[in-house]
Structure 1
Amino acid sequence: MQTAVDDFHQLITDDPRGASADANQLDAALVARGILFAGKAMPVHLRPYLVSQSQRRQLESAAASVLRAALLAEKGLFGGNHEQLYEALHIQDRERKLLRVNPGYEDAVVWTRLDAFPTPDGVLFLEFNHDAPAGIGYAAAMTEIYLGLSILRRFAERYQLEPDEPRPALLAALLRAYRDFGGKTHPTIGIVDWTDVRTSADQIILRDYFIAQGYPSVIADPREVELRQGQLYAGDTRLDIVYRRVVTSELLTKLDETRAFTTAYETRAACFINSFRCRVSENKAFFAFLTDPAHIAFLPEEAQQCLLNHLPWTRIVTEQHTLLPTGERVDLCDYVVRHRTEFVLKPADAYGGTNVYVGSETDDTVWAQALRQAVTDDALWVVQQRVPTPVELFPVRQADGGFDFHPMKYNVNPFYLGGQIAGAVVRTSQSAVINVSAGGGSIPTFTVTPRA
């Protein structure tokens, strides 16, 4: 794949003025299509992420296998006692009330985004993002924009390009869950999130796609929906499917303002996708059980090995003795203090890259303070084996309009939609915390094959 990357970069080097014009076109199209983050054009690179067919198959196989194994584990941990699992994850009573509700269909996770690091030893998944992740609309629209650039057309003369289009798989997944829910009519879809959320453009792209495919769709705020005669409404529109984009942790702080919304879930006034049950396996502390052979011994051997091979060793931060992957028994906190550079410390129930401490980029004093906070905090923290962050050269535009090629850290985020992997976005950053909310960028993925 390095040859394809080099060839793309050579196109920039050979025609810097053309590349600059393409970059201007790219930025203008992002703004015109509403592909924004926090009111500005999404940070991108002129080169998309390029993968070979074999790399694509490896990513898709690993992502689908690890998620299936994780969801199977969730059902059987602690002997299938969900209340004991909730207790172990420190899930509060107000959230447990939602978790105990049967959403009306089987799958806890209908759609999600995984955070993956390709490494020389295979693909490792650092997090699951089940609870209303953004990006599917952005990915589809960015792909269309990139295909309109002259540099992509020139590149396509040498390489066959297979772009991602995750929206059909997303819609199919929503409709399948709705049928399992018992829905019989042609559903209206409500995309529900706070009005002022920074990723509203992503929702607009999806709303317009659903409508174009023949499914009425609206965007609504959870504080403004109403229950009428046992059905959920946004204004005059009855909602059959709630494509839930409001993040649970934020919703729990505004329960008094969103009573109709949560009551609609509890009474099945609409089909909520994902259900709130997705939060259990998204919790970062859940990885502590998935990477502990003693906890997953009930799984088939293949599922056990999948989890241990594709997830970084993770433990809940508490005063405890535990086994390292080598089998050595250690005092967890003492070991983590002495081997700071080997670990990452982060809250178990947070998103957006907040309060993440990368040991190799944190000094001894700050690391020790963060660890003490983690031990004493009422909320759970986890310590996770640090995975070497993959790095690639990407074109970075300079103030004069030209380009330099900078090494950028990146991760790959495949979308799991209704049981299949359908597309992926890639996020880049100069820091080890790779997240758009933390200042990173986002680019689409193209599978490339050299033309004969």
Structure 2
Amino acid sequence: MTDRVTEAFIAAARTPGSALAKLDVGAALGSLGYDYLARPMFFDAAELDRFSADTARTVELIFALPDLLFDGDFARFRDELRIAPEHGRLMERAGAAPPRFGRIDAYHDGETFKILEFNIGSDAGGQDWVGAVPRALLEVAEFAGFAREHELTYTDTFPLVAQLLREAGGPDPVVALVGEPGDTDPGPWTPFRELLREAGFETYFGAITDLSVRGGRVFLGDVRLDVLYRLFLADSLDGDPAAAEIAQALHRTHADGGVVLWTTLESEVFGNKGCLALLNEPRVRRQLSTVDSQLLDRVLPWTRSLAAGDDIGEYLGRREQLILKPNGCFGGRGITAGWEVDEAVWRRALLDAAPGGAVVQERVVPRAEPVYDPATDEITPWEACWGLYHTPSGKFAGGGCRFLPHGSARISAPASGVPIEGRSIFESYRAGIFRYPGGR
């Protein structure tokens, strides 16, 4: 069902001569390097607030898993997720648990939001555009008038992140974005660095191997740092003992209070896809309240763990309704959607993924989102993947949508390298999110 604001937007866009028909923020935001949809996403504010609260509670339950299952033994928790020992050594607990910051990927199935996965930690990107797109739209006079008429608002994630950094590192911390070994510039994080500088942060960039620990403090050259904004992942340190040693030293310094590592590699453990399967397991559900179990049923699709030696008969029989995701992979690597491949490729993917740990998740079909094409005067269905941020406040923290024509998305990136038809989800069009008052 289409919401009233989207219907009003399309009706206005179809009016002859309307500027809403050809909204184009590409020129204003060209430096970010994305493609943008000619309409934003509109959504009921009250429903987004409820879902944000549900998301925050789900994050709390993920962080509670070591206590629920292993009496707080973090090493056993990592082993349960089949995290490689060389990575696990970098993911030791360093003082207090990391902040509950990250981004979920979700679909709305027409009835409710379903969380596909969690990206927990500082390396959850997108903060450069989720506020910039709505701002650019509001520079268009006709859209600004439409926004006033329908009482539209948006939330910029970046100021919330800036506040978190100041709470962690002091009112005027010296910040360094810390990349992988060999990185010489921030790459796609360059716009984020500029946002930090515009917000008044003294901001630098360096590869992890450019840092040194002296006298209980961390330095980039001669610059003493207060906050390290981590961009590197544990697997980016593979085969580089010097980088791994520096990472461990940074974590020790963070634990001792000499620097703030925002966020520690411990975040990767909680962002591991295997956590979603654990939340579905009876041994966890037995310890949860009825309210929490109902919440998880509401926001999570059916998800099960896959390990070496597991019976894959059910998964083979339900191929067209299931998707396979390796536990520790990011950026779509290793994902195989059963409905995109044949039986042989699906079987091979299951068998290959099992030894390293993976999850099998029920397919969520996103609802169709109407998009008006002024060239044809037709309305065509698209689909949206929602990227919504969560912070320790538990309140709606902004986000954006990535759009593709409905049914055209190619999700699979199987390890086998088998070519898959369709359009990559990384070729999507960005759209900002505007909230409208509900109940009228």
TM above 0.5: yes
Match for residue 100 of structure 2 among 110, 116, 123: 110
Give 1:219 shift.
2.8
Counterpart of 2:61 in structure 1 is 69
Distance 1:227 1:6, change over 3 A: same
Shift of 1:318: 3.0
Partners of 1:355 and 1:284 lie apart in 2 by 12
Q: Post-superposition shift, 1:384? A: 0.8
**Which stretch of structure 1 is more off in the superposition, 165-174 or 127-136?**
165-174
Instruction: Verify the 8 A CA contact 1:242 1:270 in the aligned structure 2.
Output: yes
Name the CA distance, whole Å, in 1 between partners of 2:336 and 2:302.
Answer: 16
Tell me how large the CA RMSD over aligned residues is: 2.9
Q: Distance in 2 between matches of 1:436 and 1:282?
A: 23
SS of the aligned residue for 2:323 comes to: strand
Corresponding residue to 1:391 among 340, 349, 368: 368
1:333 CA displacement: 0.5
- Opposite residue 346 of structure 1, the aligned amino acid is K
From 431, 438, 441, the counterpart of 2:429: 441
Contact 2:157–2:389, Cα closer than 8 Å, also in 1 = yes
1:431 equivalent among 405, 409, 429: 409
Cα 1:258/1:300, change in 2 over 3 Å? same
Alignment gaps of 5+ in structure 2: 413-422
Residue 189 of structure 2 corresponds to 200
1:125 aligns to 2:125 (yes or no): no
1:35 corresponding residue in structure 2:
32
Residue 56 of structure 1 aligns to a residue whose secondary structure is helix
Identity %: 20
**What TM-score do the two structures reach when normalised by structure 1?**
0.83
Moved more, 185-194 or 132-141: 185-194
Q: Offset at 1:244?
A: 1.4
**Which amino acid in 2 is paired with 1:287?**
L
1:53-77 CA distance string (max 9 Å, x none):
2222232222122212222234322
Matches within 5 A, 1:118-267: 118-131=108-121, 132-178=123-169, 186-193=172-179, 194-195=183-184, 198-211=187-200, 215-257=201-243, 259-267=245-253
Query: Is the 1:110–1:174 Cα contact (8 Å) retained in structure 2?
Result: no
Q: 1:397 to 1:216 in 2, by over 3 A?
A: farther
Any conservation in 2 of the 1:139–1:444 contact (CA below 8 Å)? Answer: yes
- Note closer, same or farther for the CA distance 1:305–1:6 as it changes in structure 2 (3 Å cut): closer
Structure 1 residue runs without a partner (length 5+): 37-41, 179-183, 322-331
TM-fit CA distance, 1:363? 2.1
1:16 positional shift: 5.8
Equivalents in 2 of 1:210, 1:162: separation in Å?
Answer: 22
In 2: Cα distance, 1:21 partner to 1:185 partner:
42
**1:55 maps onto 2:33 in alignment:** no
Q: Which amino acid is the alignment partner of residue 426 of structure 1? A: C
State the partner residue of 1:414.
388
1:344-423 equivalence runs, <5 A: 344-375=323-354, 378-395=355-372, 405-420=379-394, 421-423=396-398
Cα gap change, 1:254 to 1:159, in 2 (>3 Å)? farther
CA distance in 2 between partners of 1:74 and 1:172 (Å): 29
Q: Measured at CA, do residues 14 and 120 of structure 1 come closer, stay the same or move farther in structure 2, by a change above 3 Å?
A: closer
Matches within 5 A, 1:317-332: 317-318=306-307, 332=311
CA deviation vs aligned residue, 1:376-432 (integer Å, no higher than 9, x gap): xx422221111222321234687xxx7754322212222112333311211222315
* TM-score, with length taken from structure 2: 0.85
In structure 2, the CA distance between the partners of 1:209 and 1:374, relative to structure 1 (3 Å rule), is same
Work out whether residues 307 and 356 of structure 2, in 8 Å CA contact, stay in contact via their aligned partners in 1. no
What is the Cα deviation at residue 6 of structure 1?
2.0
Instruction: Give, as a single letter, the amino acid of the residue that structure 1 aligns with 2:409.
Output: S
Shift of 1:30: 1.0
Q: 1:190 to 1:339 in 2, by over 3 A?
A: same
Task: Supply the AA of the counterpart residue of 1:11.
Answer: A
More deviation, 416-425/426-435 = 426-435
Counterparts in 2 of 1:352 and 1:394: CA distance versus 1, 3 Å: farther
Q: What corresponds to 2:272 in structure 1?
A: 283
Distance 1:69 1:450 in 2: 29
Partner Cα distance (2:209, 2:21) in 1: 44
Amino acid at match of 2:427: G
Letter in 1 for 2:356: A
Question: Is 1:341 aligned with 2:320?
Answer: yes
User: 2:261 is matched with which residue: 272, 280, 286?
Assistant: 272
8 Å CA contact 1:69–1:304 kept in 2: the answer is no
Answer yes or no: is the 8 Å Cα contact 2:193–2:203 preserved in 1: no
CA contact (8 A) 2:162 2:196 kept: no
Give CA deviations for 1:134-155 in whole Å, capped at 9, x if unaligned: 0122212222212112342242
Q: What does residue 418 of structure 2 align with?
A: none
